[in-house]
Amino acid sequence: MTAGTLREWFVAKENPPTFTHATQITVGAVGAYLIARLFRLPEAYWATIVTLAIMQTTLNAALPISLQYFLGTAVGAAGGAVLDYYFPRSIWAFGAGVLVMGLIGVILQVQRGAYRYASITLAIVMLVPRSTSARLVAVHRFFEVSIGIAVSLGVFALWPKAASAIRSQRTMVQAGTSEK
Say what the pLDDT of residue 123 is. 96
Say what the pLDDT of residue 179 is. 45
Residue-by-residue pLDDT tens, the chain, 180 positions: 566 677 777 776 777 778 888 999 999 999 999 999 999 999 999 999 999 999 876 788 899 999 999 999 999 999 999 999 999 989 999 999 999 999 999 999 999 999 999 999 999 999 998 889 999 999 999 999 999 999 999 998 888 765 566 566 666 666 665 444
Q: Judge whether 44 lies within some domain.
A: no
Q: Judge whether 141 lies within some domain.
A: yes
Q: Judge whether 152 lies within some domain.
A: yes
Q: Which of 111, 33, 34, 115 shows the shortest CA–CA distance to 74?
A: 115
Q: Which of 50, 97, 41 shows the shortest CA–CA distance to 69?
A: 50
Q: How distant, in Å, are the alpha carbons of 13, 60, 69, 124 from that of 54?
A: 21, 11, 8, 19
Q: Which of 129, 123, 122 shows the shortest CA–CA distance to 74?
A: 122
- Is residue 117 a contact partner of residue 73, using CB atoms and an 8 Å limit? yes
Say what the pLDDT of residue 75 is. 96
Say what the pLDDT of residue 180 is. 44
Q: Judge whether 144 lies within some domain.
A: yes
Q: Judge whether 154 lies within some domain.
A: yes
Say what the pLDDT of residue 32 is. 98
Q: Judge whether 164 lies within some domain.
A: yes
Per-residue pLDDT tens digits for 119-166: 999 999 999 988 899 999 999 999 999 999 999 999 988 887 655 665
Range of the domain at 131: 60-170
Q: Structural domain tally of the chain?
A: 1
